[in-house]
Amino acid sequence: MNKGIKIGINLILVLLALGLAYKLYNSIMTPIKFKQSFEYRSEIVKDKMIKIREAEIAYLYTYQKYTSDFDTLIDFIKNDSLLIPKSTGVVPDSIYNTSTSRKEAEQRAIDLGIITRDTLKVAVKDSLFRHYNVDTLAYVPFTNLSETFQLNATIIKTLSNATRPVFELKVHNNSFTHGLDEQQIINVNDAARDNDEFPGYLIGSMSEVTTAGNWD
């Protein structure tokens, strides 16, 4: 075998070894990089969903129902107010010691003028969304304002025949993972379905009274 052919073969072997090393490295690093990016995006998505939940709870406090319309929710944040009860003063131990309950003690203190109660009117935006761009509240992060969260609300009847307002906010994994490895996204979604779980994040429920997130 002449020297030129031998050098050529060695070069090919080196290139093959480098190619295999790159494939091995890529097969190890792809899921690691995906996991890091997925978890980073997930935290931002969940933080925004929690802000929407705060707005819904404030809306419920004001109107005794939830809303399924983001425009209504945003208008509420921008232009409405919350009525916050405020107490001034402290119930003395002498009243607590001669009362049968905390409620009775507080009422006696109010009657005696020791405690005063008032209601403060606070703008929703100032109390919950200061320095927050509420105009983008409906949009899912990492979608360039092209996709919105799914928001629904209704009234349900509980097992005790009581009527209760409920809401559900959710987003599919596919919505906020644009640009990430497609096979890894499929794997995450399949794993959720195998566990009978929603392949994404959701808060609340349309069938039970809860405001918990499915990651809690």
Structure confidence at residue 22 (pLDDT): 53
Structure confidence at residue 180 (pLDDT): 94
What Rg value do the Cα atoms of the chain yield, rounded? 28
**Most confident by average pLDDT, 3-17, 113-127, 137-151:** 137-151
Structure confidence at residue 101 (pLDDT): 85
pLDDT(20) > 90: no
Q: For 53-93, how does the pLDDT look when each residue is reduced to its tens digit (9 = 90+)?
A: 999 999 999 999 999 999 999 999 999 988 777 777 788 88
Mean pLDDT over each residue of the chain, to the nearest integer:
87
> How many helices (DSSP H) and strands (DSSP E) are in the chain?
7, 5
User: What average pLDDT does this structure show over 48-56?
Assistant: 96
User: What average pLDDT does this structure show over 118-132?
Assistant: 82
Q: Please give the sequence-ordered ranges of beta strands (E in DSSP) within 37-193, or none if there are none.
A: 81-88, 116-123, 150-157, 163-172
Structure confidence at residue 18 (pLDDT): 57
Q: Which of 94-98, 114-118, 159-163, 183-187 has the lowest mean pLDDT?
A: 114-118
Percent above pLDDT 70 for the chain: 86
The owner of tokens 């001034």 is 88
Structure confidence at residue 159 (pLDDT): 85
User: What average pLDDT does this structure show over 139-151?
Assistant: 96
HSE (side-chain half, CA atoms, 13 Å) at 186: 3
CA distance 171 to 202: 6
Helix, strand, coil tally for the chain in percent (to 5): 50, 20, 30
Q: Tell me the pLDDT band of 117, cut-offs 50, 70 and 90.
A: confident
pLDDT(27) > 90: no
Q: For 105-114, how does the pLDDT look when each residue is reduced to its tens digit (9 = 90+)?
A: 888 888 887 8
Structure confidence at residue 160 (pLDDT): 86
Domain chopping of the chain, boundaries: 34-78+133-204, 80-126
Contact 213, 178 (CB under 8 A): no
Q: What are phi and psi of 81, to 5 degrees?
A: -135, 160
